[in-house]
Amino acid sequence: MTKKRVLITGAAGFLGSHLCDYFLAKNCEVLAIDNLITGNMKNIEHLMENADFTFYNHDVSNYVHVPGDLDYIMHFASPASPIDYLKIPIQTLKVGSLGTHNLLGLAKAKNARMLIASTSEVYGDPLVHPQTEDYWGNVNPIGPRGVYDEAKRFQEAITMAYHRFHGVETRIVRIFNTYGPRMRLNDGRVLPAFIGQALREEPMTIFGDGSQTRSFCYVSDLIEGIFRLLLSDYAYPINIGNPNEITIKQFAEEITKLTDSKSGIIYHPLPQDDPMQRQPNIDKAREILCWEPKVDRAEGLKITFDYFKTLTAEDLNKVEHNDFTKYNKY
Tell me the domains of the chain and their CATH numbers. 5-321 (3.40.50.720)
Q: Give the C-alpha separation, 221 to 179, whole Å.
A: 10
* DSSP-based three-state secondary structure for 119: strand
In the residue annotation, 148 being an active-site residue is answered as yes
Per-residue pLDDT of the chain (330 residues; tens, 9 = 90+): 789 999 999 999 999 999 999 999 999 999 999 999 999 999 999 999 999 999 999 999 999 999 999 999 999 999 988 888 889 999 999 999 999 999 999 999 999 999 999 999 999 888 999 999 999 999 999 988 899 999 999 999 999 999 999 999 999 999 999 999 999 888 878 888 888 888 888 898 888 888 888 899 999 999 999 999 999 999 999 999 999 999 999 988 988 888 888 888 889 887 776 778 889 999 999 999 999 999 999 999 999 999 998 988 888 777 666 767 666 666
Q: Which of 22, 72, 85, 148 is catalytic?
A: 148
H or E element, residue 147: helix 146-166
Which amino acid is residue 100, in one-letter code?
T
- According to DSSP, the residues that pair with 21 across neighbouring strands are none
